[in-house]
Amino acid sequence: MPDVLQQLSDDLVATVNTAGPRVVRVEGRRRMPATGVVWSADGVIVTAHHVVTRDDRLGVGLPERDTIPATLVGRDPSTDLAVLRVDERNLTPAQWADADDLTVGQLVLALGRPGQTVQATLGVVSAAGQAWRTPTGGHLDRYLQTDVVMYPGFSGGPLVGAGGSVLGLNTSALLRGVSIAIPVNTVQRVVETLLAHGHVRRGFLGVSAQPVRLPETLAEELDQETGLLLVGVEPDSPAGEGGLLLGDTIVALDDEPVRHMDDLQALLGGDRVGVTVPVQIVRGGAIMSVDVTIGERG
């Protein structure tokens, strides 16, 4: 048994030594610095959106180096990702690995560098599921939850597997009190979009709404108690052009139930921009459907 523990300890140290040089400090908020990961040798850094609370006066602390200025390339609040760039051309990028094979119970490390040196905490994958839409409407290619302790400043840092490969980016902001890892496929998609366009597309209807309780007979028929009452429809908006009217109650979009505003926002992802979808509504006490082409939020 002592030999086994010693081997595990040595392997963990080796993993930190491999991944550590790819982990940087991100100075993008007033108090506690956070963590980022080197994406490419030419100075691209990926981190968590919620730890970059300003758009200027940003800094990145490289391993064994002073803090250097950074610029914000773009951010996507819906997946809690942000991309920074520093004027460096010889960085060592992280080794990214597909997280599709991760299963519940596997050992993982969370790394952070809120200070001068890399820090680590050990945990396990506590939940692994299929694609997941975040409460703010972002699409994650896989749901990954861990029990790693997210110490202050660890958000934006890597979730690391055996051999030092990065399996995802850690964040404590997508679900309150839960450590979520943004999987590699999602990180790659969002980073490439931000590098190309500076923003991630978001769907737009052009309505103001508030939750309302449905009449009992409709609630039983739809198997949901609430919908969204439209209290405003913008002129020339996708909703207006699609035929939605003030006083309509949205109960579903593209066959997905809509009970609260968060439900609607979650369904207006970038993948639906330009797509015509059925919107199920209650109008004059009757259930009906209208087709709306989702616009893009400016």
CATH number of 1-200: 2.40.10.120
Biggest CA-to-CA distance, the chain: 74
Asked about 139 being catalytic, the answer comes back as no
Residues ≥6 apart with Cβ < 8 Å to 97: 161, 165, 166, 167, 184
pLDDT tops 70 at residue 298: no
- Which residue among the candidates 49, 50, 139, 248 is catalytic per the annotation? 50
- Which residue among the candidates 49, 76, 141, 155 is catalytic per the annotation? 155
Asked about 155 being catalytic, the answer comes back as yes
pLDDT recorded at residue 1 = 59
Identify residue 258 by its one-letter amino acid code.
V
How far apart are the C-alpha atoms of 28 and 258, rounded to whole Å? Answer: 36
Segment 21-30, tens digit of pLDDT: 999 999 999 8
pLDDT tops 80 at residue 149: yes
Task: Sketch the domain layout of the chain as residue ranges.
Answer: 1-200, 203-296
Q: Tokens 């692994």 label which residue?
A: 128
CATH number of 203-296: 2.30.42.10
How many CB atoms within 10 Å of residue 229?
Answer: 18
pLDDT recorded at residue 240 = 94
Going by the DSSP 8-state scheme, the letter that residue 162 receives in this structure is: G
Instruction: Calculate the alpha carbon distances from 258 to 77, 205, 238, 261, 288 in Å.
Output: 21, 14, 18, 8, 14
Asked about 289 being catalytic, the answer comes back as no
Summarize the chain as % helix, strand, coil (round to 5): 20, 40, 40
Nearest to 169 by CA among 159, 161, 179: 159
36: left (phi over 0), alpha (psi -120 to 50) or beta: beta
Segment 36-66, tens digit of pLDDT: 999 999 999 999 999 999 999 999 999 878 8
Burial label for 197, CB within 10 Å (0-12, 13-18, 19+), is: exposed
Identify residue 232 by its one-letter amino acid code.
G
pLDDT recorded at residue 83 = 98
How far apart are the C-alpha atoms of 111 and 158, rounded to whole Å? Answer: 6
pTM: 0.79
From the centroid of its chain, how far is CA 14? 29
How far apart are the C-alpha atoms of 224 and 226, rounded to whole Å? Answer: 6
pLDDT recorded at residue 54 = 93
- Which residue among the candidates 49, 76, 78, 80 is catalytic per the annotation? 80
